[in-house]
């Protein structure tokens, strides 16, 4: 109930469409991405997860090197396996793991059915987002695992938006 006595609803937000997901990727391009930037972005994600008591693991990779990793209370080793599988999708397709899955669903199929990739190594589930740098393209991925896939995706996008806003 609100202060005026009306009922509140916590209706789930609609999943973003392909156009919105593609717009996120066009918008979230960084001027650079250093080791220090990875630390700052990772800490921002950890801070957000702690505020929400989200049982997630956070990972940032650049050019094959892990620059940041944190496992918060409630996360499990399975989250690390999901991180690796979602990150491989970003590395292979150059798009967020959620967008890749959405593109397959829009074609009336699933990633697992049609990608011809080993589902033990690749997962087109939300939570991994490309780190795209101006003039360089996709150089890495930032990944969250532990929440439902859309919430993982939204947490990463929100953190990237806040991180990029600090750069302007």
Per-residue confidence at 168, pLDDT binned at 50, 70, 90?
A: confident
**61-112 pLDDT tens trace:** 999 999 999 999 999 999 999 999 999 999 999 999 999 999 999 999 999 9
**6-45 pLDDT tens trace:** 333 444 678 999 999 999 999 999 999 999 999 999 999 9
Q: What is the pLDDT of residue 4?
A: 36
Q: How far is CA 116 from CA 97, 104, 120, in A?
A: 16, 12, 12
pLDDT at 49 > cutoff 90: yes
Q: Compute the distance between CA of residue 162 and CA of residue 168 in angstroms, rounded to an integer.
A: 10
Q: What is the pLDDT of residue 12?
A: 60
Q: How many residues does the chain have?
A: 168
Provide mean pLDDT across the span 154-160: 98
On whether the pTM is more than 0.85, the answer is yes
Give me the percent of the chain exceeding a pLDDT of 90.
90
């Amino acid at each position: 109930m609100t202060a005026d006595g009306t009922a509140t609803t916590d209706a789930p937000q609609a999943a973003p469409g392909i156009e919105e997901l593609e717009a996120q990727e066009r918008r979230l391009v960084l001027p650079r991405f250093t080791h220090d930037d990875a630390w700052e972005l990772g800490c921002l994600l950890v801070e957000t997860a702690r505020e929400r008591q989200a049982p997630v693991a956070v990972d940032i990779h650049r050019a094959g090197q892990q620059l940041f990793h944190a496992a918060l209370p409630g996360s499990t080793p399975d989250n690390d396996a999901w991180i690796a599988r979602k990150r491989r999708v970003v590395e292979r397709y150059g798009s967020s793991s959620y967008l890749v899955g959405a593109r397959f669903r829009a074609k009336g199929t699933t990633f697992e059915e049609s990608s011809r990739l080993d589902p033990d190594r690749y997962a087109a589930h939300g939570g991994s987002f490309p780190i795209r740098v101006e003039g360089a393209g996709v150089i890495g991925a930032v990944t969250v695992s532990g929440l439902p896939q859309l919430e993982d995706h939204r947490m990463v996008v929100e953190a990237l938006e806040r991180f990029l806003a600090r750069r302007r």
